[in-house]
Amino acid sequence: MHEVPQRAKDEESLPLKLSETVCRFDDDVRTALQSKLRDVLDRLGREVVEDPELKSPLPDAVRAFLSGEQDLVQVSGELAHALRDSQTGKSPAGLLLVAAARLDGHPALLMVKLEQETGMQANGILADGLRTFDMQYFANLLFTEKSKVYKVALFSEEGVTEPRLQGWAADPQTSGKDVARFFLEKFLGCRHQNDPRELTRRFHDTAMDWVNTRFASSDVRVDYVMAVMVELQSAAPTLDPNAFIQTHLQEAHRDDFAGFLAENDVPIRAFDKNTDLIGNRMEKVRVDLSNGAFLVAPLEAVRDGSVTVEDLGDGRTTVTVTATLDKASSGAAAGRRPKPVNRAEDPVSRAEMIPGLEGVLPVPAQAMQTNMGTEQSSA
C-alpha cells in the first residue's frame, strides 16, 4: 500500500514515500477485504480493454508482474507513480492498494485507489464505578461500510493472453455509471470493452426474438414483451439481466432465457444501460395477427388495460380495445402520401411466425405516422 499525495497544480509533484514491503494483516482483515471487493466487482465491474493510444505504463507493468518479471513491491511502486502522474489537481490525496490475487484459478493483480475517512468509536466503560462511554477519534479509516470513495481494477493472467490486455474496473463513486475517466484512461490505459448502447440494443433484440420464437401463448408473449419494455424504460442506470430473469420470468423459463442471451453474446451480469439506439421503439407495442390484422398501441394503453390480449387456448387470440372512437376512414389515412408500388413492407421474421399471434414487437415511433383509430382489430 502506498500513499499518493494530491498533485499540486502548476507545481512540481511531491516525491512519493513508497512502502518497502508488503502489508501485514490477519485473517479477519483479509476476509473483510475479499468480501468488500468481490461485492463491488460483482455488482459494478465493467469489462475494460487496453488502448495503446492512451500510452499508460500500467498495462506493461501488469504484464511484467503476471509473467514473473517483477514482484509485488516493485510493480506496486511503479503503479503508485503512474497514479500520481495520471491525477489532476482536483484529485484528492489517497492510498493505492495493490494485491496479488486469483480470479477463476488464474493469478491476478488487484489495485484499489481509495481515500482515507474519519470517524469516531464509542466503547462502553466503567469510570469510578459508573457506566459511561470512552470516545475515540480516528483519522485514517478505510473501507467503511458506507464508503463509496474508491476505485477498483483487476487484471488476471487469462486477460494477458489476448492481443490487448483485458480486465475489470469498478467505480462505486459514480453510482453504477462509467468508471471515472482519469482512472480508466490515464491510469489504467483502458477503455470500456462493450459500448452500453450496443449492449442495451442487443439485450432488447435478443429478448424480443426469444419471446416470439419460444412461446405460442399470447398471454406469455405480451407479458414478457411488456416486462422488457418496462425494464428498459426504468430510471435505473444499469441493466441487470440476471435480476430481470429472477423478477419477471417464470421459473420454468429462466434457464432457457439465460442460455439464449449467452448464445447471442449478451452478458448475464449487470451493464450500463443506454437506450439511444432503441429509444424510438419504447413507446408503442405492435401485435400482428394471422389474418393480416395488426394493432399498434401506446405502451401505457396495454399497461392500463384499455388494450388487452387474450389467449383462447385453441391457437387463436382475441385483442380487445376499449376506448372512444375518434375517427373512422379508409385504410389510407387522409393527407398521407401513397407508398410507391415497389416499396415492400418490412416482413416479420419467419422465425417469429407462430399461428394465431404472429408477433409482438415494439414499434419505432416514426414508423407510425397515421391515425390508428380504424386499424384497431380483434381476431
Q: Is the pLDDT of residue 333 over 60?
A: no
DSSP letter (8 states) at residue 305: T
Which amino acid, 16?
A: L
Q: How far apart are CA 194 and CA 175, in angstroms?
A: 18
Q: Are 48 and 152 in contact (CB under 8 A)?
A: no
- Highest-confidence segment of 55-69, 127-141, 278-292, 331-345: 55-69
Q: Is the pLDDT of residue 216 over 60?
A: yes
Q: How far apart are CA 226 and CA 286, in angstroms?
A: 11
Query: What does the pLDDT read at residue 337?
Result: 44
Average the pLDDT over each of 164-178, 213-227, 262-276, 289-303 and give the range with the smallest value: 164-178
Query: What does the pLDDT read at residue 241?
Result: 94
Q: What phi and psi values does residue 258 have, to the nearest 5 degrees?
A: -60, -40
CA trace torsion 278, 234, 204, 346 (10° rounding): -40
List of residues 6+ apart from 314 with CB closer than 8 A: none
Q: How confident is the model over 58-84, as a mean pLDDT? A: 93
Query: What does the pLDDT read at residue 8?
Result: 67
Query: What does the pLDDT read at residue 90?
Result: 72
How high is the mean pLDDT of the chain?
Answer: 80
| Ramachandran bin of 208, using left for φ above 0, alpha for ψ from -120 to 50, beta for the remaining angles | alpha
Query: What does the pLDDT read at residue 152?
Result: 93
Query: What does the pLDDT read at residue 162?
Result: 73
DSSP run (H or E) holding 64: helix 58-66
Grid coordinates given for 315: 391457437
Q: How confident is the model over 251-268, as a mean pLDDT? A: 93
Q: How confident is the model over 329-342, as a mean pLDDT? A: 51
List of residues 6+ apart from 152 with CB closer than 8 A: 37, 40, 41, 45, 110, 111, 112, 168, 169, 170, 171
Q: How confident is the model over 188-213, as a mean pLDDT? A: 90
DSSP letter (8 states) at residue 325: -
Query: What does the pLDDT read at residue 122?
Result: 79
Q: Which residue has the higher pLDDT, 75 or 127?
A: 75
List of residues 6+ apart from 220 with CB closer than 8 A: 211, 250
Where residue 349 falls among pLDDT bands split at 50, 70, 90? very low
Q: How far apart are the first and last CA of the chain?
A: 70
Q: What percent of the chain has pLDDT over 70?
A: 79
Where residue 232 falls among pLDDT bands split at 50, 70, 90? very high
Where residue 174 falls among pLDDT bands split at 50, 70, 90? low
pLDDT tens per residue, range 79-138: 999 998 887 767 777 889 999 999 999 999 999 988 766 667 778 888 888 887 787 766
pTM above 0.75, yes or no: no
Which amino acid, 22?
A: V
